[in-house]
Amino acid sequence: QVQLVESGGGVVQPGGSLRLSCAASGFTFSTYAMHWVRQAPGKGLEWVAFIHSDGTIKYYADSVKGRFTISRDDSKNTLYLQMNSLRAEDTAVYYCAKGARYSYDAFDIWGQGTMVTVSS
């Protein structure tokens, strides 16, 4: 079945780095745009980053621009989020999500999320 599985979360000190991964299965990964979305504890959803199916177009929320990098490896059906210069306010559950039919579309499949805690 169509599935996204995130990994790589954990506890990191402020200023540190972490790389999240999202393994995709059950669909042709290379033909879909992908996203990262986060949710701080007890808060709502915040879109974080987008990568086009061809990997050349990337967008970031202002809150993470210059610190986070989204990438994909279609040979491994895997999406990544490299997070540098982490701050306490980056503490959240991070979800990867699949774009629906078009590049700029709703998110039709979500992973279960991975928790990132930034704390000293």
Give the footprint of another protein on this chain (CB under 8 A). 35, 37, 44-47, 50, 59, 95, 100, 104-113
Query: Closer to another protein at the Cβ: 1 or 56?
Result: 1
CB of 7 to another protein, least distance (A): 15
Tracing tokens 């745009």 back to the chain, one arrives at 33
CB of 14 to another protein, least distance (A): 26
Torsion of CA 63, 68, 74, 77, to 10 degrees: -80
CA distance 91 to 40: 6
Residue 50 CB neighbour total at 10 angstroms: 19
Query: Closer to another protein at the Cβ: 15 or 104?
Result: 104
The token pair at 104 is 């700029």
CB of 43 to another protein, least distance (A): 9
Query: Closer to another protein at the Cβ: 55 or 110?
Result: 110
